[in-house]
């Protein structure tokens, strides 16, 4: 079972505008902004607008419209950065074993350089 959603998590504060971030994408379902500690030339975080702790929480509880809106937004961000032809990487860390630090679902998008093999 996932912990209850914490409205004081850092991405909730970013969504409320209480912590500054650079908007890369914003619609009804999703928000994207640069990671503060980039692990690739391009490192974007895409988050759903809804209060979901993790992928587990989101996939179990979000409406079809929220899920579709979020997944489409991730694809749109990649297209906006012209990443489709060279390719890119998506990553979601889930829970303690996944190394998730911020308890609001986020997908990491890495690109703009060859990324090498996936490592644990």
Residues at the interface with ligand 5GP (CB under 6 A)? 10, 19, 21, 33-37, 93, 99-102
Question: 3-state class of 114 per DSSP?
Answer: coil
Shortest CB 79 distance to ligand 5GP, Å? 21
Report CA-CA distances (Å) from 21 to 45, 90, 95, 115. Answer: 11, 20, 24, 25
Closer to ligand 5GP by Cβ: residue 64 or 112: 112
**Spatial CB neighbours of 67, under 8 Å, sequence gap ≥ 6:** 58, 59
Q: How far is the CB of 85 from ligand 5GP (least distance, A)?
A: 26
**Distance between CA 41 and CA 115 in Å, rounded?**
9
Q: How near is the Cβ of 15 to ligand 5GP at its closest, in Å?
A: 12
The nearer residue to ligand 5GP, 18 or 65, going by C-beta atoms, is 18
Instruction: Indicate the residue among 76 and 100 with the shorter CB distance to ligand 5GP.
Output: 100
């Amino acid at each position: 079972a996932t912990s209850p959603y914490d409205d004081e998590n850092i991405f909730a504060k970013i969504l409320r505008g209480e912590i500054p971030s650079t908007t890369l994408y914003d619609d009804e379902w999703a928000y994207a902004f640069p990671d503060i500690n980039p692990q690739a030339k391009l490192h974007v975080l895409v988050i759903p607008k809804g209060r979901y702790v993790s992928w587990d929480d989101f996939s179990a509880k979000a409406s079809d419209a929220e899920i579709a809106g979020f997944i489409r937004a991730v694809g749109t961000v990649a297209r906006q950065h012209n990443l489709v032809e060279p390719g890119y990487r998506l990553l979601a860390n889930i829970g303690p074993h996944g190394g998730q630090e911020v308890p609001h679902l986020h997908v990491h998008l890495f690109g703009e350089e060859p990324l090498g093999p996936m490592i644990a």
